[in-house]
Amino acid sequence: MIPYKSIIQINKEKDTAIYLQLTSAFIGLIKDGTLISGAKLPSSRTLSQLLEIHRKTVLASYEELQLQGWITTVPQKGTFVSSKVPIIVQKDFLQNKKTTKSEKAGFSFYKNKHLIAHEEKVANSTIYINDGIPDTRLAPLKELAIIYRNVVVKKNTLQFINYGTAHGNKDLRKNIAKYLNETRGLKITKDNVLITRGSQMGIYLSAKLILKPEDIIVVGDTNYISADRTFLNHGASIKRIPVDNDGLCISSLKKLCSENTIKAIYITSHHHHPTTVTLSAERRIKILQLAEKYKFAILEDDYDYDFHYNHSPILPLASHDCNGNVIYLGSICKSVAPVFRVGYMIATKDVIDEAATRRKYMDRQGDALLEITFSKFIASGDLQRHTNKVLKIYKERRDFFCKRLKEEVSEFIKFEIPNGGMAVWVQLNKKYNWGDVSRISQKYKLVITDWKNYDPINSGHNGMRFGFASYTIEEIQNLVLQLKKTFLEVKKLK
């Protein structure tokens, strides 16, 4: 018998399942001629003893090899290498003509001037100043992995791994509706919920539904740049209204409404993006009244509702929407980790059904297994517990970050302590510019690039967001010291 024990290496530490390791080992032996056609394979019992693995593992591997056509089993005789093994020889249809892949397409295609490609961010030793993102090191990966595993091994999961609905998993829609009703005062059922792959998908779908070229959408001056670009991509005409300490200015909105046909307004009510101010309760009511009167849509992007540090948050406009004007957008990407693409779009049923139809032609359906996992994560109260836990940590980081900024670099910047969210709106003294800061900061292993995104119309506010939530106290300490060194060097340029 072939010395299987010495020629088949099984590594139990590897991520690859053992039966698959065994399967590829056998395929290798057949391909290199060690096992010729007709050769008899050891019994599953013998091989399992030789390799010190479970007999069921050997049986699973033999079954896989048989399905792939490498071996055949003859009842009462044993298992043999097939007489015709399935080695696929690829034929080049251009016979001998060697080609390398071209770098450029051989046809013309449309590039959209409004959209920007995503840049890869950051090498290990550098600190990237971000827009306000969660600390992924705090993500409850183990808890989610346990739920996911249980979901996958359950028999009734089979019904979900087929093609499903573009609306998203039914249980998750129910649990999201319940969660939003309890935490945000909404009054919705699952029929008002479309599961998206994050808030951005909700913004895109809303734009698809509402905007045709030249249609007017109102946004703040300043505004979340990805939303701007999404609307421009749909050919919309963007009208900007000022934002002060209470959020969007209503008098400007009223004026616009009386002079134009407004299709929609985009708002980040909880913390305006980028300046982090909260839209006041009074202005929320006024926007709802104007929307009813002029029949426009309110796209309420509540991207960071779960993060408030000083007092209870003001309920979203969606909680008082009796006339079907609000499309409410959110996700769990910010609360758990951006990689989990699970978000929601909330609106009247007619809008949700149309949005699901539109979504289907771009993304046939969401990730049902992930959706079931998150449905259970929400229903068990784990999402709320996780949010409460990180909220405490982020509050401590916000306080420390603002304190250190004040102590070390207040000569160069001004900022207000945000009452929630994950970022501080930092305005650089107008004597300086972010271009110089960005260039010099590289020397101190800081990456400051995003300032360009906060002033697309060159209004000259000299502000940019500094995310704080993703850094530990030690990292914040280091960040601020490096920032100080940067600013001091920028000062010498003057």
Ligand X SMILES: Cc1ncc(COP(=O)(O)O)c(C=O)c1O
Residues found near ligand X in the complex (CB under 6 A): 131, 198-200, 224, 268, 273, 301, 303, 331, 333, 338, 343
Tell me if residue 326 falls in helix, strand or coil. Answer: strand
Least CB distance from residue 150 to ligand X, whole Å? 26
CA 431 to chain CA centroid, nearest Å: 37
- Please, what is the Cα angle at 420 between 414 and 425, to 5 degrees? 25
Least CB distance from residue 428 to ligand X, whole Å? 21
Q: Which single residue brings its beta carbon nearest to ligand X?
A: 198
Nearest to ligand X of 224, 412 (CB atom): 224
- 15 token code pair: 């991520």
176 near 318, Cβ under 8 Å? no
326 near 287, Cβ under 8 Å? no
List CB contacts of 44: < 8 A, sequence separation 6 or more: 55, 58, 59, 62
**Residue 87, burial from CB neighbour count under 10 angstroms (0-12, 13-18, 19+):** exposed
Nearest to ligand X of 331, 486 (CB atom): 331
Least CB distance from residue 268 to ligand X, whole Å? 5
DSSP 8-state code for residue 308: B
Least CB distance from residue 417 to ligand X, whole Å? 19
Nearest to ligand X of 200, 365 (CB atom): 200
Least CB distance from residue 137 to ligand X, whole Å? 18
Least CB distance from residue 199 to ligand X, whole Å? 4
Give CA–CA dist 332/341, Å, rounded.
Answer: 8
Give CA–CA dist 332/168, Å, rounded.
Answer: 15
Scan for tokens 């050891």, then name that residue. Answer: 42
Helix (H) or strand (E) holding 227: helix 225-233
149 near 346, Cβ under 8 Å? no
Give CA–CA dist 396/394, Å, rounded.
Answer: 5
Nearest to ligand X of 290, 345 (CB atom): 345
Nearest to ligand X of 48, 268 (CB atom): 268
- 366 token code pair: 């969401």
List CB contacts of 366: < 8 A, sequence separation 6 or more: 166, 168, 169, 195, 196, 197, 341, 342
- 250 token code pair: 């209503």
Strands 413-414 and 262-267: what pairing? Answer: unpaired
Nearest to ligand X of 204, 296 (CB atom): 204
Nearest to ligand X of 65, 201 (CB atom): 201
Nearest to ligand X of 325, 331 (CB atom): 331
Nearest to ligand X of 131, 135 (CB atom): 131
Nearest to ligand X of 29, 464 (CB atom): 464
What is the number of other CB atoms lying within 10 angstroms of the CB of residue 12?
8
Beta strands in 309-422 (DSSP E): 326-331, 343-346, 413-414
Least CB distance from residue 128 to ligand X, whole Å? 14
Nearest to ligand X of 200, 278 (CB atom): 200
- 379 token code pair: 């229903």
Give CA–CA dist 359/361, Å, rounded.
Answer: 5
189 near 177, Cβ under 8 Å? yes
List CB contacts of 430: < 8 A, sequence separation 6 or more: 460, 462
Nearest to ligand X of 200, 470 (CB atom): 200
